């Protein structure tokens, strides 16, 4: 089966990582899968070194119509059986170029609870009837997408995110991890790994840190990630008297080592799809505390594999973190339960097989029979 996945860039973010995992996983299943991206950015993944795959770069350079024609030409030359727009704008380009190239099976993709507006939302509405369906990464996202565009449930397919579980299995002690990342401190560490953007609500994280300091809880707070709110959030930490307590670490390629050094992983988002950071933290054996964004219950069982608090509830967030910091056995128990959940249900292999099932069903419904997939074949 020949599969073309379209993504905007390879920036070090969760959706981009999932696109690369998808290409690698489908190839291991015997598919001729290819990832095409059209924006070059700083702080991008190294796909060959980190994922063992080489995507295709097709620059857009602001020339949208020319880009769509160029993309359609490439789709025809590669004779893709399936075209998959991985996110909101890639869906628009994949759908237009896919139609121009007369591809039979074109999927749209959404990676968060649907928040499209303006021309993008209008384009999705107009293009939706011609799509084979949509691929999302949580049931909450599927429900929201269905409500926005009145899409039948059988046209929206939930494919949970996958994770390279072995990468996050701790290979060093917490003390060794702290030494390696250059934070030789003995205090407990509370970490948030998230883009510095409004969706992630870092202000709640800073307010929670300030509340814990007020309660005289001993801890350091790591903020991992870059984004448009960087300067504002650093000033916010200073305004709260947290300059010596909160460390802004920027983007880190070795995020697993940050997590191995961490005692509690926190996510304060207002909305998500299926959170990669929660998956990574759980795979690392780190207990998680997250806000109650739609879909969080698909990953966390409250009190067993992590904890969930109301969005904006700073006191409740502080209570959960403080309880975990005081109780090493609770941290171990919850962390191990979370790790087991990820091992069993959120591997790259599980995600890739589910993707392939969705593609095959769509092709079959259209009477198209690509070359059979050797599901146990492993390719580079």
| 63 is a domain residue | yes
Residues 18 and 154 in one domain: yes
Residues 133 and 233 in one domain: no
Residues 40 and 99 in one domain: yes
Read off the tokens for 354. 């589910």
| 375 is a domain residue | no
> 50 vs 24, 85, 121, CA distance in Å?
11, 22, 34
Residues 142 and 183 in one domain: no
Residues 12 and 149 in one domain: yes
Three-state DSSP at 269 gives: coil
Residues 102 and 30 in one domain: yes
Domain extent at residue 209: 168-343
| 334 is a domain residue | yes
Mean pLDDT by 10 residues, the chain (380 residues): 97 93 97 97 93 96 93 98 97 98 96 90 97 95 95 96 92 92 85 96 98 95 96 97 95 92 97 91 97 93 97 98 97 97 92 97 82 44
Residues 181 and 147 in one domain: no
Residues 134 and 270 in one domain: no
Query: How many residues are there in the chain?
Result: 380
| 56 is a domain residue | yes
| 378 is a domain residue | no
Between the two ends of the chain, the Cα-to-Cα distance in Å is 16
Instruction: Count the domains in the chain.
Output: 2
Residues 129 and 186 in one domain: no
Residues 118 and 37 in one domain: yes
> H helices within the chain, ranges in order?
14-28, 47-51, 64-78, 88-100, 118-127, 139-149, 165-168, 174-180, 202-214, 230-239, 255-260, 276-283, 314-326, 328-345, 348-365
| 379 is a domain residue | no
Domain containing residue 322: CATH number: 3.40.50.2000
pLDDT at 185: 75
| 263 is a domain residue | yes
Residues 229 and 119 in one domain: no
Region of 62 (left: φ > 0; alpha: ψ -120 to 50; beta: rest) is: left
pTM for this one? 0.83
Residues 198 and 300 in one domain: yes
> Containing H/E element for 190?
strand 189-193
| 372 is a domain residue | no
């Amino acid at each position: 089966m020949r599969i073309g996945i379209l993504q905007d860039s390879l920036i070090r973010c969760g959706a981009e990582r999932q696109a690369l995992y998808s290409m690698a996983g489908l190839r291991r299943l015997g598919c001729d899968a290819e990832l095409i991206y059209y924006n070059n950015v700083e702080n991008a993944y190294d796909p060959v070194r980190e994922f063992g795959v080489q995507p295709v770069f097709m620059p857009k350079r602001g020339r949208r119509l020319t880009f769509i024609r160029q993309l359609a030409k490439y789709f025809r030359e590669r004779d893709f059986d399936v075209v998959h727009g991985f996110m909101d704008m890639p869906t628009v380009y994949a759908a237009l170029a896919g139609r121009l190239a007369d591809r039979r099976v074109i999927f749209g993709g959404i990676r968060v609870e649907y928040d499209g507006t303006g021309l993008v939302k209008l384009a999705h509405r107009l293009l939706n009837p011609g799509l084979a369906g949509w691929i999302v990464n949580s049931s909450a996202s599927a429900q929201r997408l269905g409500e926005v565009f009145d899409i039948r449930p059988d046209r929206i397919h939930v494919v949970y995110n996958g994770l390279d579980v072995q990468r996050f299995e701790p290979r060093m002690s917490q003390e060794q991890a702290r030494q390696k990342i250059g934070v030789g401190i003995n205090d407990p560490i509370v970490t948030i790994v998230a883009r510095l953007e409004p969706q992630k609500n870092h202000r709640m994280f800073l307010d929670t840190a300030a509340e814990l300091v007020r309660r005289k809880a001993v801890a350091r707070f790591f903020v991992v990630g870059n984004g448009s709110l960087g300067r504002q959030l650093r000033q916010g930490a200073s305004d709260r008297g947290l300059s010596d307590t909160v460390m802004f670490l920027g983007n880190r390629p070795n995020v697993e080592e940050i997590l191995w050094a961490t005692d509690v992983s926190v996510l304060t988002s207002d909305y998500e799809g299926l959170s990669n950071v929660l998956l990574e933290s759980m795979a690392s054996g780190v207990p998680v505390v997250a806000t109650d964004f739609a879909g969080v219950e698909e990953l966390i069982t409250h009190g067993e594999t992590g904890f969930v608090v109301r969005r904006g509830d700073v006191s409740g967030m502080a209570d959960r973190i403080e309880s975990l910091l005081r109780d090493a056995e609770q941290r171990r128990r919850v962390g191990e339960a979370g790790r087991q959940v990820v091992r069993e249900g959120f591997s790259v292999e599980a995600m890739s097989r589910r993707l392939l099932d969705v593609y095959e069903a769509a092709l079959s419904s259209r009477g198209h029979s690509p070359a059979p997939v050797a599901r146990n074949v492993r390719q580079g």
